[in-house]
Structure 1
Amino acid sequence: MTLIKRSYPVRNIERVNPFAPMFNDFLESMFNNNTMPDTSFKTPAVNVVENADGYAIELAVPGLKKDDFNIDLEKNTLTVSVEKENESKEEGKNYHRREFSYTSFKRSFNLPETVDVEKIGAEYKDGVLSLTIPKKEEAQLKAKQIKVS
């Protein structure tokens, strides 16, 4: 019996399993570099909803505290950012290897002229940062009855 080794280009593997490159990088880094790949999130998932009164933006950012967020408004651009270094110190241990975690991201949203920037609010609960952005009174849609003459 003869065994034939076949070599497939990476693109064929990706077509069969789109996660193959991620697993290859993971295994490569574990066995060759002795380090773990960076698994921290780069940009959080976002939901943006518009209703009659305004807008709601929700960012999925678990594991943070409300003091970790920087929310800035410059002109009509709302920017949410985080820069946090997670370092735990344990006294009395002789480490051969110790890894630090650093989390950072920055998301910007262009706001329309119709929002009331003085009333923007933010709340962080259960890993979700919720921003409420109300519309100005004149921009809110109101129902109106029109009489036929």
Structure 2
Amino acid sequence: MSNLSRFDPFSLEPVVSDLFQGLFRPMRSMATTQDAELASMKIDVTESEGAYTVKAELPGVDKKDIDVQIDGRIVSINAKVERNKEEKDGERVIRRERYSGAFSRSFSLASEVDDAKATAEYKDGVLSLSLPKRAPSDQKRLTVN
């Protein structure tokens, strides 16, 4: 007599389920990292004698959902990303990794910006700001009597 046990395919179900779940764990943490990267908004700021240039990566953002505010030396960029639900009748979402939400970035420059002459352009997922420096105001000297 042999001591062979009968194969039960259902005994593998927990093992296969754990394996399947494990395949997505690294991607889940990667999605969180991607969300954090998008929410942190990568920017480049350069300075010339008369102006600052700012380039901000805003992939997947609609131009109407971008708001730029200038208050003296403070520049704030706010953006909103909304992903439409693409579910159809009879379908269910197995995985959703695309970012949806709002994010912002504020930073201070060394000189005040002339907001009346500032311009913004959005093309190919990159927001470009041209921020001319405000001319230094004439200092008034007081005569000491």
Task: Tell me whether the two structures share a fold, i.e. TM-score over 0.5.
Answer: yes
Q: Is 1:87–1:101's contact at 8 Å kept on the other side of the alignment?
A: no
Find runs of 4+ consecutive structure 1 residues off by over 4 angstroms. Answer: 32-35
Instruction: Look at both structures and tell me which one has the larger radius of gyration over its CA atoms.
Output: 2
Deviation, 1:93, is 2.8
CA distance in 1, matches of 2:80, 2:66: 8
Identical counterparts, % of pairs: 27
Q: Does 2:62 correspond to 1:62?
A: no
Tell which deviates more after alignment, 77-86 or 35-44.
35-44
Tell which deviates more after alignment, 31-40 or 42-51.
31-40
How many pairs align?
A: 112
Deviation, 1:52, is 1.9
CA distance in 1, matches of 2:94, 2:87: 13
* TM-score, normalising length: structure 1: 0.60
Unaligned runs of 5+ residues in structure 2 are 1-20, 138-145
Residues 96-138 of structure 1: CA distance to partner in whole angstroms, max 9, x if unpaired?
5353631432111213444312211111112211011002345
Q: RMSD between aligned alpha carbons?
A: 3.0
CA distance in 1, matches of 2:59, 2:93: 30
Mark the CA change 1:126 to 1:96 in structure 2 (over 3 Å): closer, same or farther: closer
Partner residue, 2:43 = 46
Partner residue, 2:131 = 133
Q: State which of 48, 58, 81 in structure 1 corresponds to 2:78.
A: 81
Mark the CA change 1:125 to 1:33 in structure 2 (over 3 Å): closer, same or farther: closer
Mark the CA change 1:136 to 1:75 in structure 2 (over 3 Å): closer, same or farther: closer
Unaligned runs of 5+ residues in structure 1 are 1-29, 140-149
